[in-house]
Structure 1
Amino acid sequence: MTERYLGTPAMPSAPDGSLTGPVPEHLPSRLAVCLWDFSWYTRAGSGEPFEDVDRAMAESVDRGFNAVRICAAPLLVAGGLGLDDLASGLPVEGLGAAPTGGFYGQRTRWYDAPGGYRLDVRARLFELLASARRHGVVVILASWEYQQSTSFAADPRWFETIDAVPLQRRYDVLADAFGRLLDEIRVAGLVDVIAFTEVHNEVDFSILPPLEGGGVAAIERLRTRHPDQLVTASYGKPPHLAMHRLPAGLDVAQFHVYSYGVLDALQRRIDIRSEGTEGFPNHELRALLRADAPAFGEYGRPEPWKLDATVITDQMVYGYDWIDAGRWDAWLDDHYDEYREVMLREIESRVIATAEWARWRGIPAVVGEGWVGYTPRDGWFEEGTAGLALAEHGIRTALEHGVWGVVPGSNAAPHHPMWREADWMRRVNRTITEAAGG
């Protein structure tokens, strides 16, 4: 009997757990990332999660995090766009008061910001960086300004000013703002706290041209100005089936891995992410609403400029504000088995694709957001048995393939109900920070 030759596999039989690319020696060998996003300044009112930024930092460390990822609002605090008065006294409003009482976004994630205070964003940013230094935490700087940050202000001037920047110049303006901001951070003696800088969050889901349209050149200019810093941009949905389309020139492969699966099936069924749908809400959505839900027309919508400044729609605001979270979760639980294997495989394949692209480029990889998707604030599917299993599968796969940094989940942060699941966070963050191969 002769041995049959079955070819040579394109991938090694065992994953390579060593880092996909080198990281500066002063930074942690693995990052357990907490997604503070823009909420550190939009949820900083009295009694809110970020009223005391040092307390929020201490709570993050207690849960095992050693990195936080933030919107540093560079265009506001260092953009040179005539917004200094807002940077030192931003009137935080959220999406505004609703006619039926309360405020728009009151039961959404991220948009559940009641506002009602002014904040010196510039001063608070440096307070955050100093707190990170004291607690041994590194900070990932990014911007959400061309995605949603500006919608939380009571004054539209921040949005109107950056929106007036021609599309093809926006990466240049962002890079120049980050250059000035990093100058200030360096003068303050805090530059070693910065893990890396993203010129913008999710460039593929923001009011920006493709990264190739000036973004790579802007990144290079920022890197030249601060050669000791890692500079990149992040993608909300990198082209996992055609990674060769991503441009070279990124210092970190910071990609997001969401597997909507059963969640997408529900969203399509109730048409919650569209706008201008005739007859909204449909029968399927009405069956999931709270008993006290007002009519869509009665509820109204945030000011038009606020919706222009965000990636969400009036249908989303209404739907998430008035959905019955128990009914929402029950539908997902009832249908999850139909999507379970696909969701597990999708998370695995996307993590591997991005990690292998990073290894090919010789740069570190980070999963800065994941794993299921956008759910109502009080929904518990992603935080329940199924969601945690998906998250742990993603984390395990990331570490096995040499990913430098990873989130336990996008909802694992001080401004989400999941924050009370401290023991789970401690356990998975220990898995991340103690991983071999770093």
Structure 2
Amino acid sequence: MTYEPVPIPAGVPDQLTIALWDFSWYTRTGPGEPFEDLDRAFAETVTRGYNTIRICAMPYLLFGSGLDTTRASFGPLGGGYAQGTRWYDVKHRVALDARAHLVALFEAARRHDVHVIVSSWEYQQSPAFYGDRSWFDALTAVAPADRAVALAQAHADLYAHLADRDLADRVAFVELHNEVQFGRLTDGLEPDGTDLVVPLRERLTAGLDAFHRRLPHVPVTVNYARVPVDALRGVPHNIDVAVFHPYVYGVLGELAEQLALRDEERFSTERARPFLRPGAPDYQDWQPPLADRWRKDATIVGKPEIYVHDWCDPDAWDRYLYEHHEAHHHAMRLKLDLWMDTAKDFSRGRGVPLVFGEGWIGYTPLNTWYEEGPIGTEVCRAAARKARSIGAWGSVVCSNAAPHHPMWAEVAIQAECNEILRQGARPPA
């Protein structure tokens, strides 16, 4: 099927060096939090060599839900729940005029000459932080087959809202949703083989078509967790950018499997006990307050994973990964190279630019340091060199290199990797 991709707008950088601000730019705005002052967050981002941020722009909340967002409430999941879990350790509940906050973000982006990849995490986890379950209920009320189109319409309205304020030039491109094969966009579908990439294609194609009809001059796409080398035929023909998240896991995957972090039927407290701090409660007892239990349904992150991340002993966790890394080292590097080469070939075959919006090792507990230490940072360097060598248009340093993660303090490695990336080629015409 022939499709002519929408070109990247004039004025967008030839090379995107991407910081993953995700949904944290609105959930982490309380006193002392990393996005309390947007100008400071942008200044720190530019200092580290980034020229682009990637965000959940909450499009459906703002332009599809019908909810009054003039005093939208965002905050933690309740009690101490998820406070040791990366991305979830929100400290304060705040009230924002959400549309005004979106405009403020784009105005600050212009002041600091930063571009924005506009995405959505809404069918994965963003509503878990909301003041009540109305956002979550509005999303799930949309029939699964219609969700991609509903997101497309909301994104188009969001873009128009920015254009009316002369801010749309900050948009690098639009993603209908984050990691589309993992989340509630797939509800009601049966896997094809091991994945939902192929079964999801029709829904995503319809969503991309809907956006193109509204805004034919704006590049739009979807992105995928991992590089689905066994299912690339499932990527819609009408994408304008190829976006993948190569998390290779390796030794981290071995530990996650050993602890059954993503298998509630196999998981037990005793299985995880060697990696927990003294005094950790039983898994079944680790819950948000009763009034907040719905938040567990509003996120797709595995509940054993949250429990272990909250209560893990960082030294025990990292020690295991370092002690077992050697057996996985070659396979992890080989997998990363293979996935990135496959992504390159796919993007060239489609005639669209290639972006790595997240990566590289995997989901680690907040206070561990494996991905931020000497092994993990060398993976960052290798991935940056690989992204440059294959002509990727954009890449992260790694997913943990963002204002709301401890790695943000490691300025030198971020500047080094972004300098490597800036030596890359222009995107395809």
- Measure the CA separation in 2 of the matches of 1:335 and 1:21: 46
* Cα displacement (A) at 1:293: 1.5
- Measure the CA separation in 1 of the matches of 2:322 and 2:298: 34
Aligned residue identity for 1:315: P
Establish whether residue 130 from structure 1 lines up as the match of residue 107 from structure 2.
yes
Establish whether residue 218 from structure 1 lines up as the match of residue 207 from structure 2.
yes
Aligned residue identity for 1:158: W
Aligned residue identity for 2:117: I
Q: Which residue of 1 aligns with 2:394?
A: 405
Worse overlay, 405-414 or 170-179: 170-179
Alignment of structure 1 residues 349-428 onto 2, 5 Å: 349-428=338-417
* Cα displacement (A) at 1:435: 2.5
CA deviations on 1:370-410 (whole Å, 9 max, x unpaired) are 00000000110001111111122122111111110000000
Q: Give the direction of change, closer, same or farther, for the CA distance of 1:408–1:21 in structure 2 (3 Å limit).
A: farther
* Cα displacement (A) at 1:325: 0.7
SS where residue 369 of structure 1 aligns? coil
Q: Which residue of 2 aligns with 1:204?
A: 181
Aligned residue identity for 2:63: A
Aligned residue identity for 1:88: T
Paired residue for 1:119, among 79, 93, 96?
96
Establish whether residue 44 from structure 1 lines up as the match of residue 29 from structure 2.
yes
Aligned residue identity for 2:260: D
- Measure the CA separation in 1 of the matches of 2:240 and 2:7: 10
* Cα displacement (A) at 1:115: 3.0
Establish whether residue 282 from structure 1 lines up as the match of residue 278 from structure 2.
no
Aligned residue identity for 1:286: R
Q: Which residue of 1 aligns with 2:50?
A: 65
Paired residue for 2:162, among 179, 182, 185?
185
Alignment of structure 1 residues 258-273 onto 2, 5 Å: 258-273=247-262
Establish whether residue 76 from structure 1 lines up as the match of residue 61 from structure 2.
yes
8 Å Cα contact 2:8/2:173 also seen in 1: no
8 Å Cα contact 1:68/1:140 also seen in 2: yes
Aligned residue identity for 2:48: R
CA deviations on 1:334-384 (whole Å, 9 max, x unpaired) are 000000000001011101101110011000010000000000001100011
- Measure the CA separation in 2 of the matches of 1:125 and 1:243: 34
Paired residue for 1:328, among 314, 317, 334?
317
* Cα displacement (A) at 1:214: 2.4
Aligned residue identity for 1:159: F
Q: Which residue of 1 aligns with 2:83?
A: 106
Q: Which residue of 2 aligns with 1:231?
A: 220
- Measure the CA separation in 2 of the matches of 1:403 and 1:331: 33
Worse overlay, 244-253 or 428-437: 428-437
Establish whether residue 342 from structure 1 lines up as the match of residue 331 from structure 2.
yes
Aligned residue identity for 2:399: S
Gaps of 5+ in 2: 187-198
- Measure the CA separation in 2 of the matches of 1:238 and 1:307: 28
SS where residue 118 of structure 1 aligns? strand
Q: Give the direction of change, closer, same or farther, for the CA distance of 1:300–1:437 in structure 2 (3 Å limit).
A: closer
Q: Which residue of 2 aligns with 1:56?
A: 41
- Measure the CA separation in 1 of the matches of 2:138 and 2:358: 28
SS where residue 36 of structure 2 aligns? coil
- Measure the CA separation in 2 of the matches of 1:339 and 1:22: 40
8 Å Cα contact 1:94/1:154 also seen in 2: no
- Measure the CA separation in 2 of the matches of 1:23 and 1:187: 20
SS where residue 205 of structure 1 aligns? coil
Higher relative contact order (CA 8 A, sep 6+): 1
Larger radius of gyration: 1
* Cα displacement (A) at 1:291: 1.4
Aligned residue identity for 1:201: N
Q: Which residue of 2 aligns with 1:89?
A: 71
- Measure the CA separation in 2 of the matches of 1:242 and 1:168: 20
Number of equivalenced pairs: 409
Gaps of 5+ in 1: 1-19, 98-102
- Measure the CA separation in 2 of the matches of 1:365 and 1:227: 20
CA deviations on 1:40-79 (whole Å, 9 max, x unpaired) are 0111111100011111011100100000000000011111
What RMSD over aligned residues (CA atoms) do the two structures have, in Å? 1.7
Q: Which residue of 2 aligns with 1:255?
A: 244
Worse overlay, 208-217 or 408-417: 208-217
- Measure the CA separation in 2 of the matches of 1:186 and 1:426: 32
- Measure the CA separation in 2 of the matches of 1:40 and 1:229: 24
Q: Which residue of 2 aligns with 1:245?
A: 234
Identity of aligned residues (%): 42
Worse overlay, 376-385 or 116-125: 116-125
SS where residue 45 of structure 1 aligns? coil
